[in-house]
């Protein structure tokens, strides 16, 4: 059975799910998206993801042609029609069909696509043994040029970071901003544990994406009484950290054991990281919007 894709109100086979070459999402990266996970028949943080999607659309003056509630139901129905319980869901709202000019007023109606399928960013062994990463030469784009909380379809900055990692034989790279502070991975947020046992992640004002998995990790850590700080840190702090891990909807929570070939801690996933991974797995598999 072919995968069914939600496309502007219809559920069509993957082979027939086509978007016009005049869609400004294709031509200019004009649009927003969300990645969402479902676990054991429950969509994790569905409303939080959709609220961020609609807020991003509002920011760029993109009118979503269906309501938030209709989007939620369409997301669940896409899961049902594909008989999925554990999946990665990608929602895309693009500006829609227009002409070859930039003017969004030439696009009368946005295009909405919902895909529910599988994703695996990293092999399972890296969740057990840890991941070697690098810091990228490509810097994060300045937050005064494009609001980082908008999950824009223009992901070229992140793709260049991923290309760097691939050319270096790595699976992920960590970005710095123009001031040299650590900000995020190509598609993930960054956490370290310092010598005092504090869990630290870059603050929002550096221009990072406020990841929903990031916020979940912070919430779980605080619930366990782990000291948490949202604070700036540099590459030196990465190198001297006792532990490091990345978070993201697609990546989930994955330990880092080497950065620029410097061993992190003891070179294995640290105890705090392992504890949060266990808590995260239990939390995601017992919370969420039921699909069925």
CATH 3.30.470.10 describes domain 4-117: yes
Give, in order, the Cα–Cα distances in Å from 270 to each of 127, 182, 188, 219, 264. 12, 20, 19, 19, 9
Q: Alpha carbon of 199 to those of 206, 209, 251, 275: distances in Å?
A: 17, 18, 19, 12
Could you tell me the end-to-end alpha-carbon distance of the chain, in angstroms, rounded to an integer?
Answer: 20
pLDDT of residue 2: 87
Residue 151 annotated as catalytic: yes
- Tens digits of residue pLDDT in 79-114: 999 999 999 999 999 999 999 999 999 999 999 999
Task: Mention every residue, 6+ apart, whose C-beta is less than 8 A from residue 246.
Answer: 131, 133, 172, 185, 188, 189, 190, 191, 253, 254, 256
Percentage of the chain surpassing pLDDT 90?
Answer: 94
Sheet hosting strand 4-7, strand order edge to edge:
10-13, 4-7, 111-117, 87-94, 31-39, 42-43, 289-290
Q: Determine the pLDDT at residue 121.
A: 82
Number of other residues whose CB lies within 10 A of the CB of residue 277:
19
Rounded to whole angstroms, how far apart are CA atoms 185 and 136? 9
Of 24, 25, 7, nearest to 16 (Cα)? 7
Distances (CA, A) of 21 to 27, 64, 246, 275: 7, 20, 35, 47
Give which of 142, 120, 139, 272 is closest to 195, Cα–Cα. 272
Q: What is the pLDDT of residue 18?
A: 96
Would you place residue 125 in the very low, low, confident or very high pLDDT band (cuts 50, 70, 90)? very high
- The whole-angstrom separation of Cα 159 and Cα 165 is 10
CATH 3.20.10.10 domain locations along the chain:
124-284
pLDDT beyond 90 at 141 = no
For the chain, where do the domains classified as CATH 3.30.470.10 start and end?
4-117
Which residue out of 151, 162, 195, 275 is catalytically annotated? Answer: 151
Under DSSP, is residue 261 helix (H, G, I), strand (E, B) or coil? coil
Q: Residue 6 and residue 251: Cα distance in Å, rounded?
A: 24
pLDDT tens-digit profile of 164-187? 999 999 999 999 999 999 999 999
Annotation: CATH topology of 124-284 = D-amino Acid Aminotransferase; Chain A, domain 2 (3.20.10)
| Reported pTM | 0.95
Per-residue model confidence (pLDDT) at position 250: 93
pLDDT digits (tens, 9 = 90+) for 62-74: 999 999 999 999 9
H helix or E strand, kind and range, residue 131: strand 131-135
| Average pLDDT across the chain, whole number | 96
Instruction: Give the pLDDT score at 156.
Output: 93
């Amino acid at each position: 059975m072919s995968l069914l894709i939600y496309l502007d109100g219809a559920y069509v086979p993957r082979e027939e799910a086509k978007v016009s070459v005049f869609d400004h999402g294709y031509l200019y990266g004009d649009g927003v998206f969300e990645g969402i996970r479902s676990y054991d028949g429950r969509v994790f943080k569905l409303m939080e993801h959709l609220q961020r999607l609609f807020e991003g659309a509002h920011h760029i003056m993109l009118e979503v042609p269906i309501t938030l509630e209709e989007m939620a139901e369409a997301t669940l129905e896409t899961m049902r029609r594909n008989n999925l319980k554990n999946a990665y869901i990608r929602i895309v709202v693009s500006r829609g069909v227009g002409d070859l000019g930039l003017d969004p007023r030439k696009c009368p109606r946005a295009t909405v696509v919902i895909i529910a399928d599988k994703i695996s960013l990293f092999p399972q062994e890296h969740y057990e043994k840890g991941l070697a990463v690098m810091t990228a030469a490509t810097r994060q784009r300045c937050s005064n040029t494009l609001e980082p909380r908008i999950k824009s379809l223009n992901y070229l900055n992140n793709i260049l970071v991923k290309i760097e990692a691939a050319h270096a034989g790595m699976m992920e790279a960590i970005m710095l901003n123009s001031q040299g502070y650590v900000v995020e991975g190509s598609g993930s947020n960054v956490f370290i544990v310092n010598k005092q046992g504090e869990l630290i992640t870059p603050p929002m004002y550096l221009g990072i994406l406020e990841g929903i998995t990031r916020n979940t990790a912070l919430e779980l850590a605080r619930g366990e009484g782990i000291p948490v700080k949202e604070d700036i840190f540099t590459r030196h702090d990465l190198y001297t950290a006792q532990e490091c891990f990345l978070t993201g909807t697609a990546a989930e929570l994955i330990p880092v054991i080497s950065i620029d070939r410097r061993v992190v801690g003891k070179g294995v996933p640290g105890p705090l990281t392992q504890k949060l991974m266990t808590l995260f797995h239990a939390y995601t598999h017992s919370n969420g919007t039921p699909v069925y």
